Amino acid sequence: MTAPLLEFRHISKSFPGVKALEDVSVDLRAGEVHVIVGENGAGKSTLMKLLSGAYAADEGELLLEGTPLRKNSPKISEQIGIAMIYQELTLVPELSVADNIFLGHEIHKGPLLNRREMERRTEALLASIGIAVSPRTLLRNLSIANQQMIEITKALSKNAKIIVFDEPTSSLTSAEIAELFRIIAALREKGVGMFYISHRLEEIFEIGDRVTIMRDGKRISTTAIAQTSMDRIVEGIAGRRIENVYTRTPSERGETLFALRNLSGGVFKNVSLQVRSGEIVGVAGLVGSGRSEVARAAFGIDAYKSGDVLVRGKPLPRGNPQTASRAGIAFLPEDRKREGLALSLPIRENTVISALSRLNPRGIIRRRKERAAVQKYVDDLEISTPTVEKLTNFLSGGTQQKVVLAKWLLSQAHTFIFDEPTRGIDIGSKSNIYSLMDELVRQGAGILMISSELPEVLGMSDRIYVMAQGRIAGELSREEANHYAVIQLAFSRPEAAAEGGTPDER
C-alpha cells in the first residue's frame, strides 16, 4: 500500500499546565473524509493547529506522503497544499468575492491585477461547486453561509490537497449543510483528503469515511464508519466516566426563581421557560438554534422585541445587565477571556467586581473584609492559586471559570446562567465545576445551563429544554431524557409546526 497522504506519528504537545496531546497517531488518505470527534479540550483543534503550522509539536513527526515535514509554518503549510476552514471566517468584508479568494496569491498582468482573469477563475470555481454568487459582490453583502462557501472556494483556488473543516456547520441551516456536504462529496471525488471536526454526530454517518475518537489528548480509536455505530461513538467520546464525572444529588425544588415568558427577538421566538430553586435546567439544541442568544437577551446584553423576563415573578426592566445582576442573576459567558474576566487584574479584583456595592455600601473599599471574602471563595471553590493577587491572565481555563463563578457567588446571585460551563476546561476541573453546580442548587440556587455537550446536559440536568430554529422544541424530564430524545427534538421543526408555513432560509 502506498503511503497515506498525511500522517501524524506519535505526536505530543503540552501547554503550561495541560497535556494537550499525548502520543497521537492519525493518518489521512487521499479522497477520504476523516472525521475527528471528541469533547472540547480533547485535543482536536490542537492537532489541526499543528497541521496548519500555528503550533509546533513537542514530540513526534508529521509525514506528508511518506516524507517527514521538518519545519512547518502557516506559509509552508499553505504551500504544500493544506487549507484550514475555521468556524470564524478569515475574509475581508470590504473586498469582492474574487479579491478575497485570491488574497495573498493574486494573478497579475504586469504590475497590475488581472481582475478579469481572477473573476473568470472565481466564476469557474464557484460554478464547479455550484454556488451562484457573482465574483464582484462585496463579501459583506453575502450571508454567513455563503461567506463560508467562499472560504471553501478559497481553499480550492490554492489547489489544496488537504482541507481541514473545523465545525463548518455551526452557523448553517440544514439546507446549507446539505449543500456543503454535496461540495465535500465533490472534493472527495477529486481526491482531496479532508479532516472533518464536528460535534454533530449525525453528520458523521452522512459524510465520513473513517472516524477517530479523541479524549483527553489521546487517540481512543480509529474505525471505518461502516463498522461502528452511534452508540459506540458516544461511548468512545464520553469514555466510561459518565457516572463518576457528573455529581447530582437530589435536592428540594422551591419557588420559581427565574422565568422567560414568550421572549422573542433576533433569532428566537416565543421562548418560555422557568428555573426553580434547587434545580439545574439544561438547554440543549444545535449550535445556531438560538440558545445562547436567549440567555444573552435574558441577561440584558442584547435587546429583545417582546415578552418578559421574570425574576421571582416580577418582570425585569429590559436591556441592561446591571439590573439583571442586581436582581440576582449571574451570567457565566462562554468566552471567559473576552467576556468574563479583566485579565490584567488579579483574582481579588475580578472576584469582587460585581459585589462592590454590597461589600462597600459607602463606596469606600474595606480591604480586610474584601480579602477575607475573596479568600473564602477561593478556598470554597478550591481555586488553585498561591495568592489571590495572581493575575487572571495566567490562570488555566478551569481556574478562570471558577473565578467567574466566585464573582457571582460573592454577589449573592440566586440564578446562574451558564453558557457552555466547561468549554475548553480540562477533565479534572470539569468534575470540580459539576460538583460546585450540584452544591449550588442544594443550597437553593437555580441554574440554567446551556451546553453543546449532550453527556453534560443529560448528566447534570433535572429538566431539559431542547431548542430548534429559535424555539423551544420540547421539554424533557430527567427520566424521559436520553440521547435520542434530545436529538430528535433538536432536529424537529417547531417553526413549521407553529405557523404551518415553510421555514424561511436566510
Partner 1 sequence: MSGKTSVFSKRLLKIVTDFSSLLILAAVFLFFEAANALNGDHYLTLSNISVILNQSCFLTIIGVAQALVILTGGLNLSIGSVMAFTTVMWGRMLVGNSPDSVHYLVPMAIIVGAGMAIGLVNGLLITKLKMPPFIATFATMFACRGMAWLALGKKVIYNLNSDFRYLGTGVVERLGAFSITVPMIIVFLLLLGTSFLLTRTNFGRRIYFTGSNPVAARFSGIPTDRVIIWVYVLSTGLAAFAGLLYGARLNSFEPGMATQAPFEAITVALIGGIAITGGFGNIWGVLCGSVIVSTIYNGMNSLSVASELQTLVMGGLIIFAVAFNQFLIKQNMELRNELDDSAPDRTRRPAPGEA
Partner 2 sequence: MSASAGRKNRGFGLSLLPNSIFAFLLVFLLASLWVPRFFSPGNLSTLLLQASILIILSIGMSLVIIAGGIDLSMGGVLSMCGVIMALCLSQGMHVLAAILVGLACGGLFGLLNGFFVTRMKVPAFIATFGSMGIAQSIANTLSNKRTIYWEEGSHSSILDFLGGNIIRIEFGPEASMIFYVPFLVVLTVIVVGCIIFLFKRTVLGSYTFAIGENEETARLCGIATQKWTLLLYMISGMMASLAALLVLIRTNSMQPTSGDGLEFQAVVAAVLGGNALEGGKGSLYGAVFGALTLYVVRNSLTLKGIDTSTTMIVIGAVLVGGMILNELAARHERARSRKS
Contact set with partner 1 (CB under 8 A)? 299, 301, 321-322, 324-326, 331, 333, 338-345, 349-350, 352-354, 356-357, 360, 363-365, 367-368, 371-372, 375-376, 379, 385-391, 393-394, 407, 411
Closer to partner 2 by CB, 40 or 137: give it: 137
Binding partner at 78 among partner 2, partner 1, none, C-beta below 5 to 8 Å by kind: partner 2
3-state secondary structure (DSSP) of residue 502: coil
The nearest distance, CB 480 to partner 2, in angstroms, is: 36
389 binds, among partner 1, partner 2, none (CB under 5 to 8 A by kind): partner 1
Q: Which chain residues interact with partner 2 by CB under 8 A?
A: 74-75, 78, 90, 92-95, 99, 103-106, 111-113, 115, 131-134, 136-137, 141-143, 145-146, 149, 175-176, 179, 505
Considering the complex, state which of residue 115 and residue 402 has its C-beta at the smaller distance from partner 2: 115
Residue 405, C-alpha cell as written in the block = 463563578
Of 451, 423, 447, 145, the C-alpha closest to 287 is 451
- Distance spanning both ends of the chain, measured CA to CA: 46
Residue 343 interacts with, from partner 2, partner 1, none (CB under 5-8 Å by kind): partner 1
Q: Which does 480 bind (CB under 5 to 8 A by kind): partner 2, partner 1, none?
A: none
Query: Measured from the CB of residue 24, what is the shortest distance to partner 1 in angstroms?
Result: 29
Q: Which run of H or of E encompasses 223?
A: strand 218-224
Query: Look-up: residue for cell 478569515?
Result: 90
Indicate the residue among 172 and 324 with the shorter CB distance to partner 2. 172
The closest alpha carbon to 481, from 235, 288, 284, 286, belongs to 284
**SS3 category, 337:** helix
Q: Which is nearer to partner 1, 73 or 387 (CB)?
A: 387
Per-residue DSSP letter, 226:
G
- Shortest approach of partner 1 to residue 440 CB, angstroms? 18
The nearer residue to partner 1, 290 or 340, going by C-beta atoms, is 340
Q: Choose between 349 and 475: whose C-beta lies nearer to partner 1.
A: 349
Whole-number minimum distance, CB 23 to partner 2, in Å?
A: 29
Residue at grid coordinates 461502516: 226
Pick one of partner 2, partner 1, none as the site partner of residue 12 (Cβ within 5 to 8 A by kind). Answer: none
Give the DSSP per-residue string, 414-465.
Answer: SEEEEESTTTT--HHHHHHHHHHHHHHHHTT-EEEEE-S-HHHHHHH-SEEE
Shortest approach of partner 2 to residue 316 CB, angstroms? 28
State the Cα–Cα distance between residues 148 and 138, nearest whole angstrom: 14
State the minimum distance, in angstroms, from the CB of residue 18 to partner 1. Answer: 16
Nearer to partner 2, 249 or 502 (CB): 502
| Residues ≥6 apart with Cβ < 8 Å to 159 | 81
Residue 377 Cβ vs partner 1, minimum distance, rounded to whole Å: 10
Provide the edge-to-edge strand list for the sheet that holds 18-28: 18-28, 6-15, 59-64, 67-68
Query: Closer to partner 2 at the Cβ: 24 or 50?
Result: 50
Closest separation in Å from C-beta 402 to partner 1: 15
User: 245's torsion region: left (phi>0), alpha (psi -120 to 50) or beta?
Assistant: alpha
Q: Choose the contact partner of 1 out of partner 2, partner 1, none; CB within 5 to 8 A by kind.
A: none
* Radius of gyration of the chain, Cα coordinates, nearest whole angstrom: 24
Of the candidates 95, 207, 199, 91, which has an alpha carbon nearest to the alpha carbon of residue 149? 91
